[in-house]
Amino acid sequence: MSGKLYFICGEDEYLVEQAARERISHIIPEADQPHCVEIIDGHKDSAEEIRKAVLACKESVQTPGFFGGQKLTWFRDVTFLTGGGRASESILAKESVELLATWLSEGLAPDQILVISALKILRTSIFFKTCQKVGEVMDFGGALKPWEMEKVAEQRLPDFLRQAGIEMDEEARKEFLERVGFDTRLIISEIEKLRLYLYPRTRGTTADIREITSVGREAEAWDVLDAFGMRDPIAFVTTLHQLSGQRGIGIMLASMLEKNIKELIIIREAYDLKWIHGNAGWSTSLSPETAVLLNTLPVNPKTMNAWALKRKLPHALNYTLHELRIARFRILELREKLVSTSTPEMQLLETSLLRIIGKPKKRELKTRSSQ
């Protein structure tokens, strides 16, 4: 057979690792892998380590297998394909990457098989283009924005659940992702934990998920945003105390709240102008000028996920537009205090945010028909 190069990349560690192992198993049966697969560690930092790793990879590929049998080299978790670091180190590392690219561009000899996996890669680099030209590239993407990560996780979750033999309705799946987050390895781990918890049942409910799944720091932070939006001081304080002691949580929460309030201001104003109605639907009679204006906003609520908009609209209506603008000012003030005073951050967070939440007036979400 002719030589084969497979390059697998993407910032989702679990997907990259799984794809590499599946590719290897497709070529080399698992029973033969101990003596037919050689793994070269590509997780290197210094220029000298990188040079040695590249030479070790090349040597491995060019060394025949035992008794002349089939052999595969896996250059695993290569970390030096994006440059960076000290200038002198970066130059030497770049030379090693160029050496690897030049060698691969010449093509692998018959029966030589090389699998390269990496989490980060400069997709405009000569190395990446070389892999595309002479090999097979499996790219899981990189530098995804939070909403893109959310969308990818939503798309993949049904497959992961099916593989585990678990069923969930749409509400349960949303609750699961809100609590667990979007890291694939963590999703797989929590699904396995849920499977063991449910046995012999196979259907997971929202109550099951709340009982068994772990809540990460970011998910807890989202619970704080929910309590803030609902103007529920008891839920707010309870959730805030669960985050107590976590390093940097004050700045993180202040940043999340500032972004959240910006969105609530825009949603509230859109509602007041009758651009959206109580069912979180958009008016069918928006003028072209309004559409242009929405596109110039920092956050265009018209492009917001429909489920997210439906969830945020009640939060926006729990505050007046004036209250939300004051809230944004107080959050900016809070951020300044968090970095300039010695007051404990939990004390600052609790007093500042409870002052914003205040004692909410009883408001009802009025259903406004689409115009």
CB 81 within 8 A of CB 120: yes
CA-nearest of 198, 46, 205, 42 to 127 is: 42
203 and 231 housed in the same domain = no
Secondary structure of residue 1 in the 3-state scheme: coil
CA distance 207 to 324: 33
Shortest CA distance to 113 belongs to which of 49, 36, 52? 36
CB 62 within 8 A of CB 112: yes
Nearest CA to 326 out of 261, 371, 271, 281 is that of 261
* Rounded Cα gap, residues 330 and 346, in angstroms: 16
Domain check: are 259 and 132 in the same one?
Answer: no
CATH number, domain containing residue 196: 1.10.8.60
Task: Give the separation between CA 85 and CA 91, rounded to whole angstroms.
Answer: 9
**Residue 363 domain-assigned (yes or no):** no
123 Ramachandran zone, left/alpha/beta (phi>0; psi -120 to 50): alpha
Q: How many domains, the chain?
A: 3
Distance CA 189, CA 176 (A): 12
> Is residue 82 classed as helix, strand or coil in its secondary structure?
coil
Complete DSSP assignment for 45-70: -SHHHHHHHHHHHHHHHHSPPGGG--
200, 234: one domain: no
Q: Of the given ranges (75-79, 150-154, 210-214, 354-358), which has the lowest mean pLDDT?
A: 210-214
pLDDT (tens digit per residue) in 159-200:
999 999 999 999 999 889 887 878 788 889 889 989 999 999
Q: What pLDDT shows up at residue 371?
A: 43
Residue 188 exposed, middle or buried by CB count within 10 Å (0-12, 13-18, 19+): middle
Task: Give the CATH number for residue 302.
Answer: 1.20.272.10
What is the pTM assigned to this prediction?
0.54
Q: Which range of residues forms the domain containing residue 321?
A: 217-357
pLDDT one-digit tens code per residue, 88-110: 357 778 888 999 999 999 999 88
CB 203 within 8 A of CB 320: no
Question: Tokens 């969308």 label which residue?
Answer: 151
pLDDT-derived band at 143, boundaries 50, 70, 90: low
Give the single-character DSSP code of 291: H
Are residues 325 and 294 part of one domain?
yes
User: What number is the average pLDDT over the span 326-349?
Assistant: 88
Structural domain includes residue 365: no
User: pLDDT tens across 51-60, in order?
Assistant: 999 999 999 9
Last residue of a domain, one of 188, 212, 236: 212
Q: Of the residues 114, 139, 164, which one is the last residue of a structural domain?
A: 139
Q: Residue 175 domain-assigned? A: yes
199-247 pLDDT, tens digit per residue, is 999 999 998 988 887 655 455 677 788 889 999 998 888 888 777 666 6
Whether the link from the prior residue into 29 is cis, omega within 30° of 0, is no
Same domain for 88 and 67? yes
